Amino acid sequence: MSKKPTKYIFVTGGVTSSLGKGIVSASLGLLLKERGFNVTIQKLDPYINIDPGTLNPYEHGECYVTQDGAETDLDLGHYERFLDSNTSQNNNVTTGRIYQTVIEKERRGDFLGKTVQVIPHITNEIKRRIKILAKQNYDIIITEIGGTVGDIESLPYIESVRQLRWELGEHNSLVIHLTLVPYLAASGELKTKPSQHSVRQLMEYGIQADILVCRTEHNITKEIRAKLAQFCNVDITSVIESKDLDTIYEVPLNLQKQNFDDVVLNTLNLKSEKKAELKDWKQFLKRYKNPKRKVEIALVGKYISLQDSYKSIVESFIHAGAELETEVKIRWVYSGDITEQNVAQTFEGIDGILIAPGFGDRGIEGKIQAARFAREAKIPTLGICLGMQIMTIEFARTVLGLEKANSVEFDSSTVDPVISLMEDQKNVVEKGGTMRLGAWKCSLKLGSKLHEIYGGRNISERHRHRYEFNSEYSKAFESNGLVPTGFNPETQLVETLELKDHPFYVGVQYHPEYKSTVESPHPLFVAFVKAVQSK
Ligand code: GLN
């Protein structure tokens, strides 16, 4: 039997950015997965960076890392958390990467003397990147186009979608246009004009949207639906409302209520007898919305003004909290403000502390103060990546008496480089894509706290860092109570630290937050919240 053709769904955005294309894509992916289809979601980003790895989290939010070591847009985190399945390098492509590939081909002479142009060379490369995922046997590929229709930089993507739709033929692709229906308080009305314009703009580029998803603060009335349908050439059942909700995790249910998945399947000529029951999902939501207790955890970081910078950590707390029927409130603490004088006051009444990942030396001394306070006051604490490195520096300075101990990231000539560079990192000059990235195996010490937490000794977690715990200091740490308990089985690099005689003081060099999903809350976050709860 020949393989059924892969179906393609394109998600575009109109009127403004930040309407939540990522959440709509992830929600649709979940619904289609529940209907029995093998689905993946891809994001095309119209900026020139090769990947978001070199972008400041202030600009672009968290950099999410996939299993195979791709540094990607934070939307990929949503895709994984909703679908409970892995994405890869192929799931996030930027204009930079597209051009890089085309220019490399040009230098090799692959174009045989032709003039290299946006159409067809760039658009061909975009189409290739979209279709590449079909090789992995997906029934449906959802491709989210970053930016807003009309942006100069997203034009080649829109043109590629136009060409692809034509090539794929009827019923093999569909376009969902996410738009804003603003409310004018002065006249008490919802307005459809911006959406009409953005759909029309899409039509100017040769693309007719099949489905409109309308972000709105108020319910869209039947009349508004009819008006949108009429002006935008879509069926009235294809006008879907996406009202602001308490949590992003309610979005799939809200879309399902309007038969969003049926509309999509009908348009693609796909049939499924299976209903999307979303039993576990609903269970999760129920627990999340009806917590039995509340804890407050301080998130100590330097990118505090934009909470997107720590997206996966925030979501991991939501998953773990729901699992334990506990509301996890986050107290955002800017590490640059913490001093020896105000540290106790900063953490007054706090139940737990998370020392966040990060780069560069701003706010480091404040984080060290936080680590010391948490250790001495016996507050349950989790240090992630830079957080573990901070725990190491603090312990070396205060307990081991190595006053000048530091990471070579912050002091390249420190006499006690307790966090140092691995040999193979020493000559690296390029910043992009050169860190220790992606999933690495880790063996946990028999009988360690982490062994118990994970329920096994062999784990695999995702990394994103350049610096490492310096094993030359292992013995000194261990004999003074901060024990290395997890090791890379090949290189013996120290991946985890646990403090003795403390309710919970754990540092991990990896990022557990990248692997927490609604279906599988991460055991380390669950254990941490449990420890916080019993403080
Ligand atoms: N800056 C540190 C390093 O590169 C930690 C990185 C992180 O927290 N992700 O090793």
pLDDT single digits (tens) 352-385: 999 999 999 889 999 999 999 999 999 999 999 9
Instruction: Kindly state if the Cβ of 14 falls inside 6 Å of ligand 1.
Output: no
**Alpha carbons 319 and 67: distance in angstroms, whole number:** 20
pLDDT of 2 above 60 = no
Helix (H, G, I), strand (E, B) or coil at 508: strand
**Alpha carbons 505 and 376: distance in angstroms, whole number:** 10
With contact defined as beta carbons under 8 Å apart, do 72 and 91 qualify?
yes
Helix (H, G, I), strand (E, B) or coil at 182: coil
CA of 55 to the centre of ligand 1 (A): 14
Question: What φ, ψ does residue 472 adopt, rounded to 5°?
Answer: -60, -20
Paired residues of 241 in beta bridges: 214
pLDDT of 80 above 60 = yes
Percent of the chain with pLDDT over 90: 89
Mean pLDDT over 207-235 rounds to: 94
CA of 145 to the centre of ligand 1 (A): 30
Instruction: Kindly state if the Cβ of 359 falls inside 6 Å of ligand 1.
Output: yes
pLDDT of residue 1: 45
Paired residues of 442 in beta bridges: 459
CA of 54 to the centre of ligand 1 (A): 13
- Nearest to 190, CA basis, from 212, 223, 213, 235: 223
CA of 429 to the centre of ligand 1 (A): 16
Helix (H, G, I), strand (E, B) or coil at 93: strand
pLDDT of residue 10: 98
Q: Which of 434, 464, 494 to mutate to test the pocket of ligand 1 (most atoms within 8 A of CB)?
A: 464
Instruction: Kindly state if the Cβ of 351 falls inside 6 Å of ligand 1.
Output: no
The H or E element spanning position 402 is none
**Sequence-ordered list of residues with C-beta below 8 angstroms from that of 192, at least 6 positions apart, any chain:** 181, 224, 227, 228, 231
Handedness of CA 440, 446, 450, 452 (dihedral sign): positive
CA of 53 to the centre of ligand 1 (A): 12
Q: Which of 467, 493, 509 to mutate to test the pocket of ligand 1 (most atoms within 8 A of CB)?
A: 467
Tens-digit pLDDT profile for residues 490-507? 999 999 999 999 999 999
pLDDT of residue 61: 87
Mean pLDDT over 82-97 rounds to: 96
Task: Give first-to-last CA distance, the chain, whole Å.
Answer: 60
Instruction: Name the token pair of 257.
Output: 């209520």
pLDDT of residue 315: 97
Instruction: Name the token pair of 77.
Output: 């985190």
- Nearest to 372, CA basis, from 359, 362, 383, 361: 383
pLDDT of 221 above 90 = yes
Q: Which residue type does 59 have?
A: E
Helix (H, G, I), strand (E, B) or coil at 498: strand
With contact defined as beta carbons under 8 Å apart, do 529 and 318 qualify?
no
Instruction: Name the token pair of 303.
Output: 């990118």
Atom number in ligand 1 closest to CA 435? 4
With contact defined as beta carbons under 8 Å apart, do 384 and 511 qualify?
yes
Instruction: Kindly state if the Cβ of 467 falls inside 6 Å of ligand 1.
Output: yes
pLDDT of residue 306: 64
The whole-chain average pLDDT of the chain stands at: 95
CA-only gyration radius of the chain, Å: 25
With contact defined as beta carbons under 8 Å apart, do 417 and 406 qualify?
yes
Task: Identify the residue whose C-alpha is closest to ligand 1 atom 8.
Answer: 357
Pairing outcome for strands 417-421 and 467-469: antiparallel
pLDDT of 101 above 50 = yes
**Sequence-ordered list of residues with C-beta below 8 angstroms from that of 135, at least 6 positions apart, any chain:** none
* Active site amino acids: 385, 511, 513
Instruction: Kindly state if the Cβ of 383 falls inside 6 Å of ligand 1.
Output: no
* Mean pLDDT lowest among 210-219, 338-347, 392-401, 429-438: 429-438
**Sequence-ordered list of residues with C-beta below 8 angstroms from that of 18, at least 6 positions apart, any chain:** none
Tens-digit pLDDT profile for residues 224-243? 999 999 999 999 999 999 99
With contact defined as beta carbons under 8 Å apart, do 495 and 488 qualify?
yes
| Cis bond before residue 120 (omega within 30° of 0) | yes
CA distances from 122 to 46, 88, 154, 206 (A): 12, 22, 12, 18
**Concatenated DSSP letters of 236-254:** GGGEEEEE--S-GGGHHHH
**Alpha carbons 297 and 331: distance in angstroms, whole number:** 6
pLDDT of residue 305: 64
Q: Which of 362, 425, 465 to mutate to test the pocket of ligand 1 (most atoms within 8 A of CB)?
A: 465
Strand order across the beta sheet in which 482-487 lies = 326-334, 293-301, 352-355, 381-384, 505-508, 494-499, 482-487, 436-444, 458-465
Burial class of residue 334, CB neighbours in 10 A (0-12, 13-18, 19+): middle
Helix (H, G, I), strand (E, B) or coil at 299: strand
- Nearest to 35, CA basis, from 264, 327, 330: 264
Atom number in ligand 1 closest to CA 357? 8
Which carries the bigger pLDDT value, residue 59 or residue 322?
322
User: Residue 303: which pLDDT band, with cuts at 50, 70 and 90?
Assistant: confident
Atom number in ligand 1 closest to CA 409? 1
Instruction: Kindly state if the Cβ of 358 falls inside 6 Å of ligand 1.
Output: yes
- Nearest to 139, CA basis, from 176, 172, 90: 172
User: Residue 434: which pLDDT band, with cuts at 50, 70 and 90?
Assistant: confident
Task: Identify the residue whose C-alpha is closest to ligand 1 atom 1.
Answer: 359
With contact defined as beta carbons under 8 Å apart, do 319 and 525 qualify?
yes
Burial class of residue 78, CB neighbours in 10 A (0-12, 13-18, 19+): buried
Q: Which residue has the tokens 């540092």?
A: 507
Mean pLDDT over 433-455 rounds to: 95
What is the CA 415 to chain-centroid distance, rounded?
37
Atom number in ligand 1 closest to CA 464? 9
With contact defined as beta carbons under 8 Å apart, do 91 and 41 qualify?
yes
Instruction: Name the token pair of 281.
Output: 């999902």
pLDDT of residue 286: 97
